Chains A and B, each alone.
Chain A
Amino acid sequence: MAEDKTITLTLKVWRQKNAEDKGHFEIYKAKDINENMSFLEMLDVINDTLTLNNQTPIAFDHDCREGICGSCGAMVNGVAHGPVSGVTLCQLHMRSFNDGDTVVIEPFRAKSLPVIQDLVIDRTAFDRIIAKGGYISVKTGSAPEANDTPIEKKKADASFDAAACIGCSACVAACPNASASLFVSAKVSHLVLLPQGHAEKKRVVQMVDQMDKEGFGGCSNAYQCQAACPKEIKVENIARMNREYIKEKSIR
């Protein structure tokens, strides 16, 4: 069996002790990195060396490492989740880089998503938006019969596509206005397309108000979010949110 190819990279990593610290870039050499490692595994290797040298390892969020939890994420060479589209940072592999490359690693930045440490950001603003209506109220108990409520295939598909949002905040990070429109619209679309989501249809107004209150910017239709989204959520959802918003505002 052939040996795995290895590459050596220069990493330029954002280091920030805590929320108050101003932060700065630190240069690290990533030597003999196996191409088949994920980006996070590469950081693990760097952190092992840092720990052995009595230095503070680079803090980064991660959990499932299979692209569904929404914990990880950073700007890699100016692109949210790195150069491969449709994947999260943990799904990015080192074969996407060339030997000798310099890789700039920065946290997702936005006023409403402040850095806690290094690459870790505070995403509780998203939780507060969800608390304003990103849910449905149903009786708990045994699961209902799957086909009790017939739903049009087209609507079910659109709802499912929107439900793929993992709340990683890459959309905010990539947006020139640090707007959370794609995130909020994905949640609104996911629920409003299904009959179960109709009881709390006013959610769109409450969630948008909370989004504004959190200090996220407005949408300028630049669609950077759609390009950055690891779950390939479409800006069509933002149009749906705008539509639902008008409907809910004009009913009252």
Chain B
Amino acid sequence: MLKLSTIQKKQIVGITGLAMVGFVLAHLSGNFLIYKGPEAFNGYAKFLHDLGALLWMMRAGILASFLLHMGFTINLVITNRKARVNRYYKYQNHRSESSLATQLMPLSGSIILIYIIFHLLDFSLADKVGIIQGIDYGLYGLVINTLKDPIHAVLYIISMASVGLHMYHAFQSVFQTFGLMSEKNQPRLVLASKVLGVAITLGYSSIPVYIMMNF
């Protein structure tokens, strides 16, 4: 692909991934407005929509990041699989060197992809109607009504755990890929990555838990 080296491809995967970390954090801060009630939540949604062209530019940016991230990852996986055609009869993973999150990157990534499709269908592309006790609360109501369903809530939490697990490996990995990791700062970066992964999972998962307990 384009005669880029494996290092350059990995750098594209890293930088687009980092852009998406920013998106995930911004999205989460918006989601937290659900705790302030329907006006705040719907108001924020309206604010985003009123941005117009700027919103579309941001959407284009995140879509481009997503496509590049996935495209180059698939390309690299194909290269890597070809290099490793000769498999071992017996192979021991050094668990200490390669965390479970690292080994599960393909799985967590795939779950995220499937989740995004359903997420867009459930919320972004759906009619923003959510009737609670006879009153239409718009997007706020739609979120409440969707996540009130235990199946939706559980699948949502599993997806958010996948996002967290993905970041558990990914965030610190970007520093290695861009050559900013050293033996000295590695423990701190790995810790930051773990904290980020856990915080994102807990942050997003708190919403369906809150909804199921209160509605």
Residues of A within 8 A of B (CB): 12, 14, 25, 75, 77-79, 104, 106, 109-112, 174-179, 205, 208-209, 211-212, 215-224, 226-228, 234-236, 238-246, 249
Residue pair B80, A243 in contact (C-beta under 8 Å): no
Q: A208-B7, A222-B102 are in contact. Are A217 and B83 (CB under 8 A)?
A: yes
Residue pair B87, A109 in contact (C-beta under 8 Å): yes
B50 within 8 A of A: no
* Distance A75 CA – B88 CA, assembled complex (angstroms): 9
29 A-B residue pairs with Cβ-Cβ distance under 8 Å, sorted by A, are A75-B90, A77-B90, A78-B88, A106-B88, A109-B86, A111-B82, A112-B83, A176-B80, A177-B83, A178-B84, A209-B5, A211-B6, A212-B6, A217-B6, A217-B79, A217-B80, A218-B9, A219-B10, A220-B80, A221-B173, A221-B177, A222-B97, A222-B98, A224-B94, A226-B97, A236-B182, A236-B186, A242-B179, A249-B8
* Distance A199 CA – B113 CA, assembled complex (angstroms): 46
Residues of A within 8 A of B97 (CB): 222-224, 226-227
Residue pair A239, B181 in contact (C-beta under 8 Å): yes
Q: Mark B82-119, 1 if CB is under 8 A from A, else 0.
A: 11111111111110111000110100000000000000
Q: A236-B182, A239-B180 are in contact. Are A109 and B88 (CB under 8 A)?
A: yes
- List 9 other contacts, CB 8 Å, given A106-B90, A239-B179: A104-B89, A110-B86, A215-B83, A217-B81, A221-B177, A224-B93, A239-B176, A242-B7, A246-B178
Residues of A within 8 A of B85 (CB): 111
Residues of A within 8 A of B92 (CB): 77-79
Residue pair A244, B179 in contact (C-beta under 8 Å): yes
Q: Which 5 pairs across A and B sit closest by C-beta, in order of nearness? A: A243-B179, A218-B6, A217-B83, A227-B94, A177-B80
Contacting residue for A221 out of B96, B176, B183, CB 8 A? B176
A-B CB pair tally, cutoff 8 Å: 135
* Distance A178 CA – B91 CA, assembled complex (angstroms): 13
Main secondary structure of the interface of A (DSSP, over half): mixed
Give the distance to chain B from A194, nearest Cβ to Cβ, in Å: 18
Within 8 A of A (CB), among B156-184: 169, 173, 175-183
Residues of B within 8 A of A112 (CB): 83
* Distance A85 CA – B82 CA, assembled complex (angstroms): 28
Contacting residue for B183 out of A211, A220, A223, A236, CB 8 A? A236
Chain B residue with Cβ nearest A205: B5
Residue pair B84, A111 in contact (C-beta under 8 Å): yes
* Distance A25 CA – B173 CA, assembled complex (angstroms): 38
Residues of A within 8 A of B79 (CB): 177, 217-218
Residues of A within 8 A of B182 (CB): 236, 239
* Distance A227 CA – B91 CA, assembled complex (angstroms): 13
Number of interface residues of B (CB under 8 A): 42
* Distance A238 CA – B183 CA, assembled complex (angstroms): 11
B76 within 8 A of A: yes
Chain B residue with Cβ nearest A76: B90
Chain B residue with Cβ nearest A172: B83
- Of the listed residues B6, B93, B169, B180, the one surrounded by the most CB atoms of chain A closer than 10 A to its CB is B6
Residues of A within 8 A of B176 (CB): 221, 235, 238-239, 242
Residue pair B180, A243 in contact (C-beta under 8 Å): yes
- Of the listed residues B85, B86, B90, B178, the one surrounded by the most CB atoms of chain A closer than 10 A to its CB is B86
- Of the listed residues A178, A220, A249, the one surrounded by the most CB atoms of chain B closer than 10 A to its CB is A220
Residue pair A240, B83 in contact (C-beta under 8 Å): no
- Of the listed residues B83, B93, B169, B173, the one surrounded by the most CB atoms of chain A closer than 10 A to its CB is B83
Residue pair A219, B6 in contact (C-beta under 8 Å): yes
Residues of B within 8 A of A228 (CB): 94
* Distance A203 CA – B204 CA, assembled complex (angstroms): 46
Residue pair A216, B83 in contact (C-beta under 8 Å): yes
Residues of A within 8 A of B173 (CB): 221
Residue pair B90, A218 in contact (C-beta under 8 Å): no
Residues of A within 8 A of B88 (CB): 75, 78, 106, 109
